[in-house]
Amino acid sequence: MPVPVMFIDGDVIEAHSHWTEDHAAIVTEATVHTPDGDVVVSQLGGSVDGLGMIQMPGPALLEPGMHVSVAAHEDLDLSLREHVVLDSVKVTAYPSGYVRTGPTKAGHSLYWQSRSVSVTVDAAGTAEIPADQEFTIIDASIATWNNDTAKCSNFKVTDTGKKAMEVGNDKVNLIKLRDTVWGRPASGSDPARMYSSLAAGITTAVYVDDASSDHDGAIVDADIEINGVNFAISANNQTTGTAPCHAELQNTLTHELGHLHGLEHPCLASGDPPRTDNLGRPVPSCSATDDPKIVDATMYNFQQCGETKKEDLTADEIQAICDIYPNTGGGCCSASDQRPGASFLVAGITGLLVMRRRKSSRRAWHRSIDRKGTFPSPLSRQNREIFTIGDRASRRAVILLS
């Protein structure tokens, strides 16, 4: 007689794998939370003792964070113990994740060694937001990261005040808004470095890139620059800037501060190298995903003119900070500590903002742009490479919206 089929729809809240008694197979027992209660579903496959087992073709292995629709049936083993055996599964939502910046040549992600990182704001601010409101907005963006992660992380960014400064590897983490020239000015033997007019925000990090160092991957300097030349920097859609596209300062800066914390975009723009997320999964192409957990994330690569949704963190960004900088009894160590002679990389991490047209939409979006080059290091005799982690130069149509 046919075996009755059960249909189970819910969230996977727990999963663990084990060997069968005869060690012939690995089985995963997953708990699916449904409106009617929890159901434990058994399926072949999983990972135990450094070994994994999958069936090809076969259903996806259940893991916490998935929302699934499962077809299963009840059956008995030889000891007459009852099991709910999975027949097929449709995964309607995958576990969320986050992506870290990196890796170094030795494979480490970027991070701060200290649990307290100070930033200085260039005293010039911007002329595009009246009454010095930009400084209040900057503090609000910093507070978002500090407050939203406070329950599980003691990592804090502190605004030490305003000072007239230029970006550079000086151990001062600077936030600078540029109204006249979108680029880094000439300095000594290095010429001016102009940024793409399509990028409205860029973060440049200096970090230890030395496989022999215990501090490999440690960030020692990070500067954020905001484009007020090609975009009108705005607050609540109010700006004196004349560019057609309004870029809300708090939206852009909250994203850029994510890069300062060591986070990368959740999907790959054209030209990005392959990456994996914190769960070891390949990061998808931005053009191939509409997953709300990606496109609604603060660290999502693109934003609309006037957008504000990146002003608040999503669960993924909060989890990232809690994993990278979990609560501890005290501070770690100085972010500037490193072995003498350690080599560094300077990584320009564009956070957002290149205007593009999507086939499915007439809205304007922003995308990150890469730059590449080398310059002599003022701190060591080795050269440093400067590059932008993000999308490489796009030839897609540029659209500006008022």
- Thinking of the domain 6-93, which architecture would CATH place it in? Beta Barrel (2.40)
The confidence score (pLDDT) of residue 328 equals: 76
The whole-number pLDDT of residue 389 equals: 30
- The full set of domain ranges for the chain reads 6-93, 116-388
**The predicted structure's pLDDT at residue 47:** 92
pLDDT given at position 351: 52
Q: State whether the Cα torsion 7-13-19-25 is positive or negative.
A: positive
Kindly report the pTM of this predicted structure: 0.70
pLDDT (0 to 100) of residue 392: 28
Q: Write out pLDDT tens, residues 160-211.
A: 999 999 999 999 999 999 999 999 999 999 999 999 888 889 999 999 999 9
Residue 292 CB neighbours (<10 A) = 11
Please, which residues bridge with residue 14 across strands? 31
First to last CA, the chain: 67
Asked if domains 6-93 and 116-388 share a fold, the reply is: no
Q: Please identify every stretch of the chain with a pLDDT value under 70, giving residue numbers as ranges.
A: 1-2, 329-402
Return the CATH number of the domain spanning residue range 116-388: 3.40.390.10
User: Which pLDDT does position 292 carry in this prediction?
Assistant: 87
CB 120 within 8 A of CB 224: no
Q: Hey, is 286 helix, strand or coil?
A: helix
Q: Find the helix packing angle between 249-261 and 315-324, rounded to 10°.
A: 30
What H or E segment, with its residue span, contains residue 293? helix 292-295
Return the C-alpha torsion angle 339, 345, 324, 62, nearest 10.
-130
